Structure 1
Amino acid sequence: MDWPLQDAKNRFSEVVQRARREGPQTVTLRGERAAVVLSAADYDALTRDRPSLVDDLLSGPDWDDAIAAAINARAKSPSRDAAL
């Protein structure tokens, strides 16, 4: 169901109850979709089994030795003058 923002604000409890009972509830702003209210169960289903950002980054391709050496050889101190 679509809810104009003002109605969703005034009837938020009903919006949440319908999200739990009927599924996602769309909130509109000036006739355009602006947000979707989901039940906790729907949200959990969407986010279940998704890798975290860290998992995603760590699963990337292995670096070859030249790239690893270049990164390890870089200066360990800040590149900007700390006195400025």
Structure 2
Amino acid sequence: MNWPLQEQQDRLNQVVEEALRAGPQVITANGEETAVVVSIEEYRRLQSPSDTLADFLMDSPLRRSGIRIERDQALERALDL
């Protein structure tokens, strides 16, 4: 749902309640989206550090799939420039 900024001074309580009930609420100014009101839980989830690439790869369902990826062990590689 979009909320024009000029209406927010009187309706902030409703915007916050709607963010808690239905999810992020978009604030508009002059017809353009300018801000979003989210619940504190959503904000904290967005702020928490995400897993590292190593964590992602270690948790991958392909980890124990038996797929073998081999790299060319040659030190030199021919390049077409």
**Alignment TM class, shorter chain as reference:** 0.5 to 0.7
Cross-structure match for 2:21: 21
Corresponding residue pairs, total: 51
Deviation by residue 1:21-79 (Cα, 9 ceiling, x = unmatched): 100000100000111011001101101125xxxxxxxxxxxxxxxxxxxxxxxxxxxxx
TM-score (norm: length of structure 2): 0.58
Query: Alignment partner of 2:33: what SS?
Result: strand
Cross-structure match for 1:32: 32
Q: Whose helix proportion is higher, 1 or 2? A: 1
Query: Alignment partner of 1:49: what SS?
Result: coil
Cross-structure match for 2:72: none
Output the aligned Cα RMSD: 1.5
Give distance in 2, aligned partners of 1:8 and 1:24.
15
Would you identify which runs of 4 or more consecutive aligned residues in structure 1 move more than 4 Å? none
Identity of aligned residues (%): 44
Cross-structure match for 2:42: 42
TM-score (norm: length of structure 1): 0.56
Which blocks of at least 5 consecutive residues in structure 2 are unaligned?
A: 51-81
